[in-house]
Chain A
Amino acid sequence: MKFTEEHEWLRIEGDEIFVGITIHAAEQLGDVVFVELPSEGTTVSKDDEVVVIESVKAASDILAPIDGEITEVNATLSDNPGMVNDDPQGEAWFFKMKASDPSQMDEFMDEAAYQKFIG
């Protein structure tokens, strides 16, 4: 699993990359009450706002970590946004994507580096 400074995690399975937010981010955000997901098939560029996530007190954007195409979204989250708090680094992935340039992943942190990053 790779981690970004925007508190996202990326897990590679075959040619697909699962994207979600970290346990740390979910804890800090508090109770998630709303998740808006992108359309499947959307082509995105790194840093595009692709997901809106709202907790009781804050609205946050999840940015596309890399260039590519959104291949699938986790529609369960729309009906059950609380999953983001229950299992942020497991069941509560937001979307899967295909990378246009997998080398963009090289800059991301491993778990140890991320833990150090959040201090």
Chain B
Amino acid sequence: MRHAPAEGITISGERTEGAFDGQHFCGPLGASLVYGLLEVKESHATMSDLQQTPLYELHLELGGKMVPFAGYSMPVQYPMGVMKEHLQTRAAAGLFDVSHMGQVMLSGSSWEAVATAFEALVPMDVLGLADGRQRYGLFTNDAGGIEDDLMFARRGDDLFVVVNAACKDADIARMKAALEPDVTVTPITDRALVAVQGPGAGAAIASLDPAADAMRFMDFGTLTFGGIEVWASRSGYTGEDGFEISIPEAQAEALVRQLLALDGVEPIGLGARDSLRLEAGLCLYGNDIDAQTNPVEGNLTWAIQKARRAGGDRAGGYPGADAIQAAFADGVERKRVGLAPEGRAPMREGTQLFAAENGDEAVGHVTSGSFGPTLGGPVAMGYVRFDTADIGTALWGEVRGKRLPVAVVKLPFVAANFKR
């Protein structure tokens, strides 16, 4: 989840070729410094065309390094740096600005009306969702591919939906086309969204509203921080316990300052957000899943509840149901797996995978790959042919022309630490 499909800045010139895809940079050192994480110069990235979240000024004040991401200027890191920010989140707590993501409220004549309508867009059990509960979901297309991944929560008779920044316009259009006029689709543009993640997140949020303590993983509800009502879910995208909190725009900066003043809470950028979700085995839309990925290939069958599978009470009835049910029944040609490179060299996105050191035919490729600070070594995920997808399969990844050993491993790399 959470990614812009490569908004590439490709640059070329004398000795400064390189590519920055919003996530990673490859190229000569001098170009890395200018275009890599680090100082995307205004003239090249047209920073002025980018949108800002309600926390933009605060990011600058905190020393955030701002980069273009899904049309927004977002902090890739703060002075602490990606590695320490990552470890901080695993050890204590980190605060992430995710206000660039789309928040949308769906309402209708009744919960049943809203839920039933939404089930026509996603292969999830929506009707069975209890009030104050949240689920992970997928918008699918007619071929059974994934148009976006999302979180949805029941708020009384309404459905609160959070979608990826890069897909939000398309998602809103999709929902309006399919659901209106019976269900009203309201994009929420006057609220910030922040995630507080890590083993210290529970205590931090409960210090502002003790009611937070009673919330369990994937609960959703209203909390009151010093008189300000916020919508909070006990969830996130790091594999840690934590909350995602929707805050009225006008109060967002003051509230975030209050959160950052709490013991053990530090601001964390997109860089660490990416390595945290990768260690947690979670997909980045546009990298690990896309419009060509069947959820069965994507190893996301856990997200499709029984009620919507063949033989279930409300089987099918969503875009691509035939293709997805066929994938369940007949299996798939390729599968998303965890990949642990043996040495120290990271295997980045696009690395080709082979079944033999000298084999000609690639059996797959890496879709996300980086260094996992918690593990102290490289971590990756990608797609491989079904017959090479078993845990423990020894493969080879081609890095700069050399075949290096990599093993298929169980996901996640770091065990989830949710409050169940």
Contacts and interface: CB of A to CB of B under 8 A. Distances in A.
Contacts, number: 100
A47 B15 contact: yes
A13 to B, nearest CB: 23
Interface string B283-296: 00000000000000
B27 interface: yes
Contacts of B86: 56
Contacts of A49: 28
A31 B82 contact: yes
B37 A31 contact: no
A31 B28 contact: no
Decide if the interface of chain B is mainly helix, strand, loop or mixed: mixed
Interface residues of B, number: 34
A60 B82 contact: no
Contacts of A56: 82-83, 86, 271, 275, 370-371, 373
B348 interface: yes
Contact of A30 (B24, B27, B81, B348): B81
Indicate the member of A7, A24, A49, A56 with the most B CB atoms within 10 Å: A56
Interface in B343-363: 344-346, 348
Interface of B: 15, 23-30, 32-33, 36-39, 76-77, 81-84, 86, 271, 274-275, 344-346, 348, 370-371, 373, 378, 400
30 contacts: A7-B30, A28-B36, A30-B77, A30-B82, A30-B83, A30-B271, A33-B346, A34-B344, A34-B371, A36-B345, A47-B15, A54-B371, A56-B83, A56-B275, A56-B371, A56-B373, A57-B23, A57-B24, A57-B36, A57-B37, A57-B82, A57-B271, A58-B24, A59-B26, A59-B346, A60-B26, A60-B27, A61-B27, A61-B29, A81-B344
